[in-house]
Amino acid sequence: MLVTGMAYAMGSKGAGGGGGIEVLVLPLLFFGIFYLLVFRPQQKQAKKQREFLQNLKVGDRVVTSGGLHGEITGLTDTTLTLEVADRVRVKVTRSAVTGKSQDAAAPEAKTAKN
In a domain? residue 79: yes
Work out how many domains the chain is built from and give that number. 2
In a domain? residue 41: yes
In a domain? residue 43: yes
- Its pTM stands at 0.62
Element (H, E) at 29: helix 20-34
In a domain? residue 83: yes
Per-residue pLDDT of the chain (114 residues; tens, 9 = 90+): 555 555 555 555 445 555 678 788 988 999 999 999 999 999 999 999 999 999 999 999 999 999 999 999 999 999 999 999 999 999 999 999 999 988 755 454 444 454
Instruction: For residue 26, give its domain range.
Output: 19-55
Do 114 and 62 lie in one domain? The reply is: yes
Do 78 and 100 lie in one domain? The reply is: yes
In a domain? residue 7: no
CA distances from 106 to 24, 32, 51, 69 (A): 54, 42, 23, 14
Do 111 and 82 lie in one domain? The reply is: yes
Q: How far apart are CA 81 and CA 58, in angstroms?
A: 9
Do 71 and 102 lie in one domain? The reply is: yes
Do 111 and 67 lie in one domain? The reply is: yes
Please answer whether residues 97 and 80 qualify as being in contact, where contact means their C-beta atoms are separated by less than 8 angstroms: yes
Do 89 and 69 lie in one domain? The reply is: yes
Do 64 and 101 lie in one domain? The reply is: yes
